[in-house]
Chain A
Amino acid sequence: GAVVSQHPSRVICKSGTSVKIECRSLDFQATTMFWYRQFPKQSLMLMATSNEGSKATYEQGVEKDKFLINHASLTLSTLTVTSAHPEDSSFYICSAALAAGAQETQYFGPGTRLLVL
């Protein structure tokens, strides 16, 4: 089956630093990738939809200048949390759509746990 990887799996950083999270589709090309955030005991919250070669579409309330998304190729999307603060500590999950227009065939990465001190 399709595999999506995320790196790093866990990161601890100091307040004010920037953190980059990579999401890769290992054995398929993903025109669209999605970035989610999940706080403890809560559901997934969609942050943005990342389209290869174009600007990401951010959900309401998500600051695009704080959460920079780059989808430079069909197998890689990156999320950079700029000037991270403790309230950004969360579990970040990406998913990749197997085919354009087929949201159901979304494969999730294993997630990145971010802790900002």
Chain B
Amino acid sequence: EDKVVQSPLSLVVHEGDTVTLNCSYEVTNFRSLLWYKQEKKAPTFLFMLTSSGIEKKSGRLSSILDKKELSSILNITATQTGDSAIYLCAVARISGNTPLVFGKGTRLSVIA
């Protein structure tokens, strides 16, 4: 059965800290890995990763995929209270229009 596992499940840090969120997967016909940020409403897209070793960056957020280790990390530097959210990892599979496989998410709380 395809699965995506995220760790930690929750995390509390102080403003200014750097955090690393982990995502590992066991999925047949892997195509890409996606990261989303969810605050109070629906998830918003952060990154899509398809190739190993190529870092994607957006401001203080960055992410990289390791296809050999079947994993990805999401880094957030100089965290701010606005980074508090659930971060979801999902994997897309090659076969047709099959749905994404989501992890349970990491709940990040950034305190002032």
Beyond A44-B43, A49-B97, A111-B41, whether A104 also contacts B48 by CB under 8 A is: yes
Q: Is the CB of B97 within 8 A of A46?
A: no
Q: Chain A: how many interface residues by the 8 Å CB criterion?
A: 22
Q: Is A108 an interface residue (CB 8 A)?
A: yes
CA distance A43 to B43 in the complex (A): 10
B3-43 contacts to A, CB under 8 A, are 31-32, 34, 41-43
Q: Is A84 an interface residue (CB 8 A)?
A: no
Beyond A43-B88, A110-B42, whether A103 also contacts B107 by CB under 8 A is: no
CA distance A42 to B102 in the complex (A): 11
Q: Is the CB of A111 within 8 A of B42?
A: yes
The smallest C-beta distance from A109 to any residue of chain B, in angstroms, reads 6
Q: Is the CB of A43 within 8 A of B100?
A: no
CA distance A103 to B34 in the complex (A): 10
B36-74 contacts to A, CB under 8 A, are 41-44, 48
Q: Is B92 an interface residue (CB 8 A)?
A: yes
Beyond A44-B102, A46-B102, whether A32 also contacts B107 by CB under 8 A is: no
Q: Mark A28-49, 1 if CB is under 8 A from B, else 0.
A: 0001101000000111101001
Q: Is the CB of A46 within 8 A of B42?
A: no
Q: Is the CB of B99 within 8 A of A43?
A: no
Q: Is the CB of A103 within 8 A of B104?
A: no
Of the candidates B34, B88, B92, which one forms a contact with A44 in the assembled complex, judged by CB atoms under 8 Å apart? B88
The smallest C-beta distance from B83 to any residue of chain A, in angstroms, reads 18
The smallest C-beta distance from B54 to any residue of chain A, in angstroms, reads 16
Provide the residues of chain B in CB contact with A49, threshold 8 Å: 97-99
Q: Which chain A residue lies CB-closest to B6?
A: A43
12 contacts between A and B (CB under 8 A): A32-B97, A43-B88, A43-B102, A46-B100, A93-B43, A97-B97, A100-B97, A103-B99, A104-B31, A106-B100, A108-B43, A108-B44
Residues of B within 8 A of A (CB): 31-32, 34, 41-44, 48, 86, 88, 92-93, 96-100, 102-105, 107
- Knowing that A43-B88, A44-B88 touch, tell me 4 more A-B residue pairs with CB under 8 angstroms: A43-B103, A44-B43, A104-B48, A108-B42
